[in-house]
Amino acid sequence: MAQSKRERLEKTIQGEPVDRVPVALWRHWPGDDQRAADLAEATIDFQRRWDFDFVKVTPTSSFCIADYGVQDRWVGHLEGTREYIRRAVQRSLDWTELRVLDPTRGSLGRQLETLRFLKDAFGTEVPFTQTIFSPLAQAKNIAGPNLVIEHMRTAPDRLKTGLNTITDSTLRFIDAMRRSGVSGIFYAIQHASYAVMSESEYREFGEPYDQRILNALPEDWWLNMVHLHGDAPMFDIVSQYPVQILNWHDRETGIDLAQGKLKFKGAVSGGLGRWDPMHNGTPVEVRAQARQAIEQTNGRRFILSTGCVIMTTTPTSNLRAAREVVESVS
């Protein structure tokens, strides 16, 4: 007997047998991510076509910081991400002038409106999660990737003041989401990488703020996922975070799914390369890689996905192959 999406996911997280491996893919919606109704419609249409086991809501990365004065524009990146053209922090003193945002107004308010549309469309049948960027990732987009590292090393107290403000704003947004129908958050971490900073730096400027957010999540949010972005991930740190699912670039880093399961007690999410084979390959290659991932994990505590967003130009045939393969592999 087929399980519901929630039952299948909960049993996967707990390591219990399921009727099939869960599957989900997600992408950006350039242009549509500028208006609540458009982002909701694009998300709903995508889910209705592919019937994934959960929906990851993917606004532009500026949704949480636009009201600080950041500006961006769409320039055609295949990932669907936007280019920042104005930063809110130019000097270290600017971190101390940031103010906690009202989650019901401006860009944050529009995102809450998107979630209300999704709640009306999905009800309790389709679990969906809201993307939340870590405070350090938000700081990177507020100041720029190089300047935030410079301030981390030359004006640490001022940066920490800014990170506390960003964290407080994020917590207020999470509190405002309590009645939105979400099943959890997709928590995007971008700096827990040895290619970006040292472990001691992340433990000082990343981990404390991550923990404040993750420990404040409502108890009834049962589908919280951490996305560990980038090369050389600090897996030993993040694998201890209090979430149900961990997603990382398993096809692009030195930590495969089997190794990840040894370090993380919940479910691991990945198995498909977002470039090869999902974007550049064939359906035959997609199915082969998916089967290999299922075999590697024994189909337990595993959700088939990519390690990050799929490209906006990913072939439909490859999407179909990823969705259908789980139906034919026990």
Joined together, the tokens standing for residue 281 give 């390959």
Q: Is residue 307 part of a domain?
A: yes
- What pLDDT was estimated at residue 1? 77
Q: Is residue 11 part of a domain?
A: no
- What pLDDT was estimated at residue 177? 98
End-to-end CA distance of the chain: 14
Q: Is residue 14 part of a domain?
A: no
Q: Indicate the pLDDT class of residue 329, thresholds 50, 70 and 90.
A: confident
Q: For residue 241, give the CATH number of its domain.
A: 3.20.20.210
Joined together, the tokens standing for residue 288 give 């082969």
pLDDT tens-digit readout, 222-246: 999 999 999 899 999 999 999 999 9
Rounded average pLDDT over 176-191: 97
Q: Is residue 95 part of a domain?
A: yes
- What pLDDT was estimated at residue 157? 98
Burial of 171 (0-12, 13-18, 19+ CB in 10 A): middle
pLDDT tens-digit readout, 44-95: 999 999 999 999 999 999 999 999 999 999 999 999 999 999 999 999 999 9
Rounded average pLDDT over 131-155: 98
Q: Which domain does 71 fall in, by range? A: 20-328
pLDDT tens-digit readout, 56-66: 999 999 999 99
Q: Is residue 226 part of a domain?
A: yes
Among residues 181, 184, 88, which one has the least CA distance to residue 132?
A: 184
Answer whether residue 254 shows pLDDT above 90: no
Q: Is residue 259 part of a domain?
A: yes
Among residues 191, 297, 307, 196, which one has the least CA distance to residue 238?
A: 191
Reduce the DSSP state of residue 271 to 3 states and report it. Answer: strand
Write down the residue that tokens 């084979």 correspond to. Answer: 277
- What pLDDT was estimated at residue 94? 98
With beta carbons less than 8 A apart as the criterion, state whether 8 and 18 touch.
Answer: yes
SS3 content of the chain, % helix, strand, coil (to 5): 45, 15, 40
Across the chain, what does the average pLDDT equal?
97
Q: Is residue 12 part of a domain?
A: no
Say what percent of the chain tops pLDDT 70. Answer: 100
Residue type, 107: S
- What pLDDT was estimated at residue 73? 98
Q: Is residue 277 part of a domain?
A: yes
Answer whether residue 330 shows pLDDT above 70: no
> What is the number of structural domains in the chain?
1
E-only strand ranges, the chain: 55-57, 71-73, 83-86, 128-133, 184-189, 225-228, 245-248, 267-272, 302-306
Rounded average pLDDT over 196-213: 98
